[in-house]
Amino acid sequence: MPMKKINIHQMILVSLFAALTAVGAFISIPIGLVPISLQNLFTLLSGMVLGSRMGTFSQLIYILLGVAGLPVFSGFRAGLGVILGPTGGFLTGFVISTYIVGKILEKIADARVWSYFVAGIVGIIIIYTCGIMQLLIVTQIGLKEAVLIGIVPFLPGDFIKLITASFLAIRIKSVVSLPQV
């Protein structure tokens, strides 16, 4: 199956969501190994609004910008070391999560807020799973400690981001004409 070409409108949207994810990283509160940021909000939104293909491209571009040396990761960090470090799994999870969230919503003909919410829960579980796996491997800490460091402090904020992303996605899609991807 040949790959579809991306038009200018789609390129702009992909770039916008990559930039929004970077801005979300700058708005962060350091709490140990894994800072609280707004990256998850924009990651979920990219899958919800752009769909699996374009949303995934936006997150890949975000990660590639960071690997290339632009300080777009939380704490104004950059480089391959961040991807290979203790928190890199969360970043990798952004790409997988965006794809799955987009795919889930593409399969639902008349998605409602609850559909976005459920897709977002799946997305957050994917981000946490990827993040915790790498945190365990890189730091050699136990699962209980990894969960206490990498998940528990973030649950309330991620729940708020999930609700926000769900309602924003519905609103954005109702007022903005998005190209088919």
157: in domain: yes
What SS3 state is found at 28?
strand
134: in domain: yes
CATH number at residue 130: 1.10.1760.20
Grade residue 111 by pLDDT with cuts at 50, 70 and 90. Answer: confident
Range of the domain at 26: 8-175
Distance of alpha carbon 43 from alpha carbon 8, whole angstroms: 21
pLDDT at 4: 77
**Mean pLDDT, residues 145-149 taken together:** 92
Distance of alpha carbon 125 from alpha carbon 133, whole angstroms: 12
Q: Give whole-number Cα distances, 91 to 31, 87, 163, 181, in Å.
A: 17, 7, 21, 24
Range scoring the smallest mean pLDDT among 31-35, 87-91, 127-131, 172-176: 31-35
28: in domain: yes
- pLDDT > 70? residue 176: yes
- pLDDT > 90? residue 48: yes
pLDDT at 32: 64
2: in domain: no
169: in domain: yes
43: in domain: yes
- Alpha helices (H) in the chain, listed in sequence order: 8-26, 39-45, 51-67, 80-84, 88-106, 113-139, 143-150, 155-175
Distance of alpha carbon 48 from alpha carbon 117, whole angstroms: 10
131: in domain: yes
**Mean pLDDT, residues 85-102 taken together:** 97
36: in domain: yes
Predicted model pTM: 0.91
Task: Specify whether the CB–CB gap between 101 and 47 falls below 8 A.
Answer: yes
* b/e per residue 167-176 (b: at least 16 CB within 10 A): ebbbeeeeee
**How many structural domains comprise the chain?**
1
